[in-house]
Amino acid sequence: MTGQRKVSESGTKLRYRMMELAASMDDVIPLGRGDPDLDTPAHIVQAAKDAIRRGAAQELPPPEGLLELRQAIAAKLLRDNEIDVDPHSEVLVATGGQEALFLIVQALVNPGDEILMPDPRYTSYDGAIQLAGGRVVSVPTYEEDDFDLRPEEVEARITPRSKVLLLITPSNPTSGVISPANLRRLAEIAIERDLIVISDEIYEHYVYDDAQHLSIASLPGMAGRTVTLNGVSKAYAMTGWRVGYVAGPAPAIAAMRRLKLAASRATSAVSQWAAHAALAGPQECIAEFYRIYDERRRVMMAGLDRMGFVYGRPRGAFYIFPRALSIGLEAEELCDLLLREGRVLIFPGTTFGESGSQYLRISFLAPKEQLQEALKRMQRTLAQHI
């Protein structure tokens, strides 16, 4: 077809090719995908069942989402993030963080606009930006900083065409967390240089050691120029329920609402009631999940240390991002070897942007015992080749 806009799919294609190969093999331990392996808490599942009984599966909610859920989102943002939004005009519910990020980009980015984004990063943004005709400007982040984002690296890349600064904190795939001091400086830069900020905070609850999560929209002068993305997939182990949300200035939300209406009409009311239970209900599950992820993180770090991997300390989310060459192999070659011979599925960082090619992204989304077995397999495989 002529005139069709193309989206780069190399990263995604590689990931799918590896997943296909893994599916054709026996007994592979999957440490590739980023979807929590834990069960959605029972009270959330129950809320969905109750909603179905009340007829929610027959309902077509408004495109912006159920008012009750938008109110729960506004209350959560005030409680956890010190972000004060009007649930009537400044919140939009989307079908997962994935749809949320797509709607945000289509609403904010015009052809020729430059978007400053950390590298490595979650590359779904790249595809959305390409479709909108925007230009990705990569800002490097460094292992020696545990992949924090240096404000001066952002500043050095600002041009008259710069429109948006994308922040993903904690980060997928690097597990970097932007420090409060850097975040404050980034806010000043956004104000000085008149940038819109997209702040993806989908991993906010999983922040380790002395790292701290701060929401940039809560800083002085930032509410009017920040769009915050979040969702329930990572926080409450709810990937398949497909609920994400956006909070930001009313005109931007209105533009996203129009796009949402055209694209999918609405997000499932059953899922929205489940998300409502997640955000408005008891929060103990988060503390329990946190304990599990942090324990797994320590198991993985100890195992990788034994093998001699070098990596930035994972400060958030549920990934470790070790440097492949630190044990003498290229990332794609190493992942291929670990899958074919070790039966452990890990993605090369190539799938997460330009500088990712030297790294592996290991997700610790499997029970501790399986992680220990995966580490043993990795060690055995490497012993035969290095």
Q: Which residues bind ligand PLP (CB under 6 A)?
A: 34, 96-98, 101, 122, 168, 172, 200, 202, 231, 233, 239, 244
Query: Nearest approach, Cβ of 59 to ligand PLP (angstroms)?
Result: 22
Q: Are 345 and 339 in contact (CB under 8 A)?
A: yes
Q: Are 201 and 81 in contact (CB under 8 A)?
A: yes
Query: Nearest approach, Cβ of 236 to ligand PLP (angstroms)?
Result: 11
Given the complex with ligand PLP, which of 122 and 321 has the nearer CB atom?
122
Given the complex with ligand PLP, which of 244 and 303 has the nearer CB atom?
244
Question: Residue 11: which of 148, 97, 120 has the closest Cα?
Answer: 120
Alpha carbon distance 271, 231 (integer Å) = 12
Given the complex with ligand PLP, which of 132 and 168 has the nearer CB atom?
168
What are the residues whose beta carbons fall under 8 Å from the beta carbon of 302, sequence distance 6 or more?
none
Given the complex with ligand PLP, which of 279 and 382 has the nearer CB atom?
279
Q: Encode 137-156: b = buried (16+ Cβ within 10 Å), e = exposed.
A: bbbebebeebbbbbbebbbe
Query: Nearest approach, Cβ of 54 to ligand PLP (angstroms)?
Result: 25
How far lies 158's CA from each of 163, 187, 247, in Å? 9, 14, 25
Determine the straight-line distance between the first and last CA of the chain, rounded to whole angstroms: 48
Given the complex with ligand PLP, which of 235 and 338 has the nearer CB atom?
235
Q: Are 130 and 5 in contact (CB under 8 A)?
A: yes
Query: Nearest approach, Cβ of 330 to ligand PLP (angstroms)?
Result: 24
Given the complex with ligand PLP, which of 64 and 200 has the nearer CB atom?
200
Q: Are 360 and 325 in contact (CB under 8 A)?
A: no
Query: Nearest approach, Cβ of 363 to ligand PLP (angstroms)?
Result: 10
Query: Nearest approach, Cβ of 172 to ligand PLP (angstroms)?
Result: 4
Alpha carbon distance 214, 81 (integer Å) = 7
Query: Nearest approach, Cβ of 134 to ligand PLP (angstroms)?
Result: 17
Given the complex with ligand PLP, which of 123 and 182 has the nearer CB atom?
123
